[in-house]
């Protein structure tokens, strides 16, 4: 596996798992993070690469690379890479074992004796992953042993653990993918309903435009100062309404309806010499105001 940032990861110490199906990079990224892995992305002018770790060392070890004991995805080639170079603090297969034990994918009885010591010969059950994995390539220098919780395991259980691990993350990935698709469908459905509602809002917008025309007709005989004031108020709300034809936000429409009704009420009362008390009380008798949109019952 080549890296654009670091020295070539030694294929001899790398395990390559080729999958039958294409993988969604974002979804499997979310899956690995939810399983507790740490994601680090390295970027420069050449591009970016993302690596996943079970845990990070506090300091870089002499002679070790940042990519040691890491996992990398190659979505384009449907491949998962496991760098099997252990560091002082991390042995990736020891971490994989702990993950599988924690999630009850394998049992402690398959690794430990009744007294609690590690078995010399593993009894981890085999599984059929031919429907998931096309091929597994083990580098020539992938070590047969790995470090468990209490010392090295001297048998080669890596191929079986690899199969369990890949099946586990792909099963979780499919759950995450299904959830992602359902969320997308719900979002599309919600947006579709919103678009249908927008069509019902168009007549409301037309009513607002008609009411503005009425206001302009009412104020045409006002004296210069009052007419100028109402023209400025009307012009502002008219511009807001034009912008709304692109935004089509229900709450914003109701705000504009309130403003138009206020301008219309005041202009109507002024023209008809209604007492100032009616301005304060906002008495709406005999005034044809626009009804606001009932958001709660909007279909």
On whether both 261 and 135 belong to a single domain, the answer is no
Whether residue 188 is contained in a domain is answered as no
Look at residues 182, 207, 233 and tell me which one is the last residue of a structural domain.
Answer: 182
pLDDT at 86 exceeding the cut of 80: no
- 122 and 33 within one domain: yes
Indicate if the pLDDT at residue 164 is higher than 90. yes
| 41-66: pLDDT as tens digits | 888 887 888 999 998 765 555 556 77
Q: How many domains does the chain contain in total?
A: 2
Same domain assignment for residues 106 and 163: yes
Of 182, 204, 235, at which residue does a domain stop?
A: 182
One domain, residues 239 and 110: no
What confidence category does residue 127 fall into, taking pLDDT thresholds of 50, 70 and 90? very high
Three-state SS for the chain is: CCCCCCCCCCHHHEEEEEECCCCCHHHHHHHHHHCCCEEEEEEECCEEEEEEECCCCCCCCCCCCCCCCCEEEEHHHCEEEEECCCCCCCCHHHHHHHHHHHCCCCCHHHCECCCCCECCCCCCCCCCCCCCEEEEEECCCCCCCEEECCEEECCCCHHHHHHHHHHHHHHHHHHHHHHHHHHHHHHHHHHHHHHHHHHHHHHHHHHHHHHHHHHHHHHCCCCHHHHHHHHHHHHHHHHHHHHHHHHCCHHHHHHHHHHHHHHHHHHHHHHCCCCHHHHHHCCCCCCCCCCCCCCCCCC
Mean pLDDT of 18-47: 91
| Residues 149 and 251 both lie in one domain | no
- 71 lies in which domain range? 11-182
Residue 279 reports pLDDT greater than 50: no
pTM above 0.85, yes or no: no
């Amino acid at each position: 596996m080549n890296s654009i940032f670091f020295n070539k990861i030694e294929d001899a110490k790398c395990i390559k798992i080729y999958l039958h199906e294409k993988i969604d990079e974002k979804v499997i990224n979310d899956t690995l993070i939810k399983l507790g892995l740490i994601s680090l992305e390295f970027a420069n002018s050449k591009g970016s690469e993302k690596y996943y770790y079970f845990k990070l060392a506090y300091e870089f070890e002499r002679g070790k690379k940042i990519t040691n004991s890491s996992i990398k995805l190659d979505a384009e080639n449907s491949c998962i890479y496991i760098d099997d170079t252990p560091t002082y603090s991390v042995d990736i297969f020891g971490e994989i074992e702990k993950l599988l034990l924690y999630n009850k994918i394998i049992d402690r009885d398959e690794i430990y004796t009744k007294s609690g010591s590690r078995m010399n010969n593993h009894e981890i059950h085999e599984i059929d992953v031919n429907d998931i994995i096309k091929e597994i390539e083990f580098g020539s220098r992938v070590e047969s042993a790995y470090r468990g919780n209490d010392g090295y395991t001297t048998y080669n259980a890596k191929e079986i653990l690899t199969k369990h691990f890949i099946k586990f993350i792909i099963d979780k990935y499919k759950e995450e993918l299904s959830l992602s698709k359902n969320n997308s469908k719900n979002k599309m459905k919600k947006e579709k309903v919103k678009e249908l509602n927008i069509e019902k809002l168009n007549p409301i917008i037309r009513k607002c435009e008609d009411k503005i025309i009425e206001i302009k007709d009412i104020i045409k005989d006002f004296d210069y100062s009052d007419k100028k004031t109402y023209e400025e108020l009307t012009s502002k709300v008219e511009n807001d309404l034009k912008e709304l034809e692109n935004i089509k936000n229900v709450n914003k429409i109701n705000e504009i309806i309130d403003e138009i009704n206020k301008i219309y009420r005041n202009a109507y009362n002024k023209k008809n010499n209604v007492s100032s008390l009616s301005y304060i009380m906002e008495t709406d008798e005999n005034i044809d105001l626009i009804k606001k949109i009932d958001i709660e019952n909007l279909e």
